[in-house]
Amino acid sequence: MPGKNPLFSEPLHVGRPNLGDRTRLLSRFEDLLDRQWLTNDGPYLQAFEAAITECLGVRHCVVVCNATIGLQLVIRALNLQGEVIVPAFTFPATVHALALEGATPIFCDVDPNNHSLDPREAERLITPQTSAILGVHLWGNPCAVDALDDLAKRRRLRLLYDAAHAFGCSHAGRMIGNFGDAEVFSFHATKFLNSGEGGAIVTNDDVLAERLRRLRSFGLHQGEVVQLGTNAKMTEFCAAMGLTSLESRELFIERNRENHAAYQSALAETSGIRVLFPEQNAGNAQYVVVEVDAQQAGITRDDLCRALHAENVLAKRYFWPGCHRMPPYARVFEATGRRLPHTDRLCERLLQFPTGCSVSHLDIARIGNFLQGLVARLRRAA
Ligand code: T4K
């Protein structure tokens, strides 16, 4: 709830959509309405898939209605059963997709430096029941893809990536989308690139791609049902939106990177409040991840979050709590007696700040001034 005289009269959100060229989008809507082709492998869907394939340099792109369903389709297409090693420090969709498909998530701690799956921890968790590793390129930071690739090959495991945050990011000059057996992007409204709702599975595996296409559409192949399948199709409206967003991706990246740099300088002098991942040259900078050291700052992460909300700065506690502490998984995890110290620490300390095309440098400077003043007052009072 905002206070009496908030710093911003309108709320500043984390996850305000980056919008592409509105005129082009509306003309595409007109066009698809004129042609009366609204879904089922329409021309915008095909154009969107082709553009993603080219942009990422992958062999196949199967666009779907959201990333959660995308993950489920890959898990099903690869017939993953038994145990799958996955971080608990992620959005619950990653883990739900496994559980919904009948696999058992085995929670693994993350590397505190990049917030993604720790390959050494993952190796310790492998048992004869393990079928796969599911990494998450959190905040667009690539997982330790080389180490995970080596591990998966040595132990004959499937390797998947939840790349929901990582469209447009790269590792050692290679675009995210080219690692593991398959990677899944999200095009939800809050993502770097959005189609309202949507997602894409990309893979360099021809057989897997074909299976995914059939799974996406009722198990149909040339009009005949040849396997089990669901409805995971994206509409032409969403595909037109995704295509239009894709055309503006350079602009989105530029704005995000500028905002990231602006936050770094605005918070440089604020003790205990630090912007993580300053180097965004290979990332999409869609997340401004801030770590709060309560002792240094004189305020806890949660109190800071409340103070920002009172000023209409709607910072978010992504991700809290860890999935291992959520009702569907907590009891089973507790029974193992295992702990995820890095995950727990990050869940208690991180805060996401508003960014994207609707946030200006002036907004960021005002947020920086407010936080500097707040922390200085708290330190004087201590
Ligand atoms: N894997 C990972 C690692 C993910 O982060 C996600 C999704 C997935 C998989 C699954 O992808 P999808 O199946 O969704 O394609 C949001 C999103 O709903 C979710 O897609 C996203 N991650 C997650 C990180 O964030 P909430 O519950 O925090 O969203 P919500 O509705 O509170 O929106 C956040 C803020 O964004 C709002 O305060 C206002 C702003 N907003 C939101 C929408 C929807 C807008 O300004 N306009 C909008 O249209 O989960």
Nearest-CA neighbor of 72 among 227, 152, 182? Answer: 182
> Could you read off the pLDDT of 90-127 as tens digits, one per residue?
999 999 999 999 999 999 999 999 999 999 999 999 99
pLDDT the model gives residue 185: 98
Q: Which residue out of 188, 191, 201, 350 has the highest number of ligand 1 atoms within 8 Å of its CB and is therefore the one to mutate?
A: 188
Q: Does residue 188 carry a pLDDT above 80?
A: yes
Integer Cα distance of 141 and 220 in angstroms? 36
Q: Does residue 47 carry a pLDDT above 80?
A: yes
Ligand 1 center to 91 CA (angstroms): 9
pLDDT the model gives residue 280: 80
Average pLDDT of the residues in 352-380: 95
Query: Given pLDDT bands bounded at 50, 70 and 90, which one contains residue 42?
Result: very high
Q: Kindly report the average pLDDT of the chain as a whole number.
A: 96
pLDDT the model gives residue 4: 81
Ligand 1 center to 191 CA (angstroms): 7
Average pLDDT of the residues in 54-77: 98
Query: Given pLDDT bands bounded at 50, 70 and 90, which one contains residue 282?
Result: confident
Q: Which residues contact residue 27 at a Cβ distance below 8 angstroms, ignoring those fewer than 6 apart?
A: none
* Tokens found for residue 39: 């879904």
Q: Which atom of ligand 1 is nearest to the CA of 136?
A: 3
Average pLDDT of the residues in 133-158: 98
DSSP string, 161-174: EE-TT-TT-EETTE
**Which residue puts its alpha carbon closest to atom 24 of ligand 1?**
91
Q: Does residue 323 carry a pLDDT above 80?
A: yes
**Which residue puts its alpha carbon closest to atom 12 of ligand 1?**
67
Angle at 358 between CA 356 and CA 359, to 5 degrees: 75
Ligand 1 center to 21 CA (angstroms): 22
Percentage of the chain with pLDDT > 90? 96
* Tokens found for residue 20: 């592409």
Nearest-CA neighbor of 281 among 255, 259, 262, 253? Answer: 253
pLDDT the model gives residue 97: 98
Longest CA–CA separation in the chain, Å? 73
Integer Cα distance of 82 and 75 in angstroms? 11
Q: Does residue 345 carry a pLDDT above 90?
A: yes
Query: Given pLDDT bands bounded at 50, 70 and 90, which one contains residue 276?
Result: very high
Q: Does residue 3 carry a pLDDT above 80?
A: no
The answer, yes or no, to whether any atom of ligand 1 lies below 6 A from the CB of 15, is yes
Q: Does residue 382 carry a pLDDT above 80?
A: no
Question: Going by CATH, does the domain composed of 22-247 fall within 3.90.190.20?
Answer: no
User: pTM to 2 decimals?
Assistant: 0.97
Query: Given pLDDT bands bounded at 50, 70 and 90, which one contains residue 340?
Result: very high
Nearest-CA neighbor of 181 among 74, 81, 64? Answer: 74
The answer, yes or no, to whether any atom of ligand 1 lies below 6 A from the CB of 314, is yes
Query: Given pLDDT bands bounded at 50, 70 and 90, which one contains residue 281?
Result: confident
Handedness of CA 57, 179, 319, 279 (dihedral sign): negative
Q: Does residue 218 carry a pLDDT above 80?
A: yes
Q: Does residue 259 carry a pLDDT above 80?
A: yes
The count of other CB atoms within 10 Å of the CB of residue 193 is 27
Integer Cα distance of 359 and 262 in angstroms? 11
Q: Which atom of ligand 1 is nearest to the CA of 197?
A: 15
**At the top level of CATH, which class does the domain 249-381 belong to?**
alpha beta
**Domain extents in the chain:** 22-247, 249-381
Average pLDDT of the residues in 201-222: 97
Q: Does residue 333 carry a pLDDT above 90?
A: yes
pLDDT the model gives residue 2: 74
Asked if residue 134 lies in contact with residue 249, where contact means CB atoms within 8 angstroms, the answer is: no
